[in-house]
Homo-oligomer: A and B are copies of this chain.
Amino acid sequence: MNSKKSNYEMNLNKNAANFVPLSPLSFIERTKDVYPNYTSVIYGDRTYTWLETYNRCLKFASALERHGIGLGDTVSIIAPNTPEIFETHFSVPMTGAVLNAINTRLEADTIAYILDHGGAKVLIVDTQFSPTVKEALVKFKKEILVIDIEDPNANLQEGEGERLGEYTYEEFLEKGDIDYRWKKPNDEWQAITLNYTSGTTGRPKGVVYHHRGSYLMSMGSVIAWNMPNHLKYLSAVPMFHCNGWGYPWTIAALAGTIFCCRYVVAKDIYDLIVDHKITHFSGAPIVLNLIANAPDNEKRKINHKVYVITAGAPPPSAILERMENLGFEVMHVYGLTETFGHVLQCAWNEDWDELSIGEKAEIKARQGVIYPMMEKIDVLDPLTLEPVPRDGKTMGEIMIRGNTVMKGYYKNKEETEKSFENGWFHSGDLAVMHPDGYIQIKDRSKDIIISGGENISSVEVENVIAKHPAVSLVAVVAKPHEKWGETPCAFVELNRGYEKTTEAELIDFCKENMAGFKRPKNIIFCELPKTSTGKIQKFELRKRAKEI
């Protein structure tokens, strides 16, 4: 190869006609043009067409811009799956700004941290979460425009429902101009969303998604899951979780209908599936449990095939079998917040059609093979970066390369560089490679507990418990749990004079200091196993936790 330019590089440059930055916003523009009257969203008795959704997004975007929001700004939202959070996946990036959807289950302190770290200028909040958010705003201290979503479908508890802002979502939207000309990104590398995920450190890290990745994720999912045009899709995955695995944009590309589900309860899911003939559905294994084990009076007979993807933990074979008998075809997928959602899929091979349900479940428990838009995922020895042998036994770390990998962690150069060391994204998941090229996770190298589909940082939980005067040393690990997948389990060494401290006492202490889903379900008092250098052997504790 010589360094002289070939004729293929001469006078054949990119220009406005042959190179347009990729953005999932293109999908909604095409769909409102081609299928303006097709249904975009159904939520309770609210129904919108694609043209209506597009116009609502335009007006909301215009109102944001009039408020001064533009390129490089952050707009946060705390809401369950309703049409509003769906719309912000389009309206916020239409201004050039970045959408930051925050987990509704977080405690005030962490919400305040995220608002501050993410530099939010606007916060959209469903009034069900007003008690926590009010507290968070007190801690946040800075100026911010608050917009309230008032949802008549919300089942408000005492103290909930307070309006915190100047406008409701609808009032704010009406301030916008329907003739607003929204902004395509000038660069497909531009940030589109900011998703905080619990890392190994105490504070969550802000994962930055780019337009290119969200576009390609949407396209890849169509192939990975055989999604047809105009499909009916029910998301039991919160859109604050990896942007609902990118499906708000995928559904726009396919001119499908997305069904919002505020509360994930079996009866609603069955009713939606049967009444609307929903064909595609996604949810954490906990949701599969819910469906499979629903009481008979909540179940409905399903007469069509429903395709399900589930992620976060391998679906147990009993659940799989029950789901298949109910008419669901389940595919296990794997991904991380850092990878826009799924990047591995346990793709089915017709060679396995004749296997027993037990053998099938064993296969379906594997995380699988790469998604179509991914480039390379392998199990590598973390030291040598050589692929492990394909023996289903040798452990290595899952490492990832592709265009649906984050830009990096927001304002965190060190963690960004660490996660991208040697040109691979390091998943932190320890896995084996089977002879047929399917990957299966065996352990986790990062201190993360995944409970009900949510990441919990064990370090964060440890930091809280360590503040109790009785605690001398604490280590928190994941304990397998039938319903939640995993729950935090704490091992504690007590200070002298505090030997009478009880499990209940420490759990009460946790209740006051962290979100419910992060609380350890078990606290064990014992001497912690340590290495010769004094490092706690978490691997040993994980084994013990399993046996409890």
Contacts and interface: CB of A to CB of B under 8 A. Distances in A.
Interface stretch (A258-266, A406-414, A486-494, A503-511): A406-414
B208 A72 contact: no
A410 B7 contact: yes
Nearest to A23: B375
A7 B190 CA distance: 11
A37 B96 CA distance: 46
A228 interface: yes
B370 A30 contact: yes
A425 interface: yes
Interface string A417-442: 00010011100000000000100000
A6 interface: yes
B208 A16 contact: no
Nearest to A409: B12
Nearest to A399: B17
A34 interface: yes
A416 B11 contact: yes
A15 B407 CA distance: 9
A17 B401 contact: yes
Main secondary structure of the interface of A (DSSP, over half): loop
Interface stretch (A131-139, A218-226, A468-476): A218-226
B223 A7 contact: no
Nearest to A403: B20
A420 B17 CA distance: 7
B408 A12 contact: yes
A279 B191 CA distance: 40
Given A6-B71, A7-B72, A17 B223 contact: no
Contacts of A229: 223, 226
A402 interface: yes
Contact of A33 (B19, B226, B369, B408): B369
A379 to B, nearest CB: 14
Interface string A496-534: 000000000000000000000000000000000000000
A70 interface: yes
Nearest to A4: B72
Given A33-B369, A34-B347, A223-B253, A401 B22 contact: no
A227 to B, nearest CB: 9
Interface residues of A, number: 71
Contact of A11 (B15, B73, B219, B413): B413
A404 to B, nearest CB: 9
Copies of this chain, count: 2
A18 interface: yes
A420 B73 CA distance: 34
Contact of A18 (B70, B228, B369, B420): B420
Most buried by B among A7, A10, A14, A411: A7
Given A1-B70, A6-B71, A219-B219, A18 B403 contact: yes
A460 to B, nearest CB: 23
A400 interface: yes
Contacts of A223: 219, 222, 229, 253-254
Most buried by B among A12, A20, A220: A12
Contacts of A1: 70-71, 96
Contact of A35 (B253, B349, B400): B349
A334 interface: no
A180 interface: no
7 contacts: A13-B407, A18-B402, A18-B425, A19-B189, A20-B403, A27-B372, A34-B369
5 smallest beta-carbon distances between A and B, as pairs: A6-B72, A16-B423, A18-B405, A12-B407, A8-B191
Given A20-B403, A35-B349, A223-B253, 20 more contacts: A6-B73, A7-B72, A8-B72, A8-B98, A8-B190, A8-B407, A11-B413, A17-B401, A17-B424, A18-B402, A18-B403, A30-B369, A30-B370, A34-B370, A219-B219, A219-B220, A219-B223, A222-B222, A222-B223, A223-B229
Interface of A: 1, 6-20, 22, 26-27, 30, 33-35, 37, 70-73, 96, 98, 119, 189-191, 208, 213, 219-220, 222-223, 226, 228-229, 253-254, 347, 349, 351, 369-370, 372, 374-376, 400-403, 405-408, 410-411, 413, 416, 420, 423-425, 437
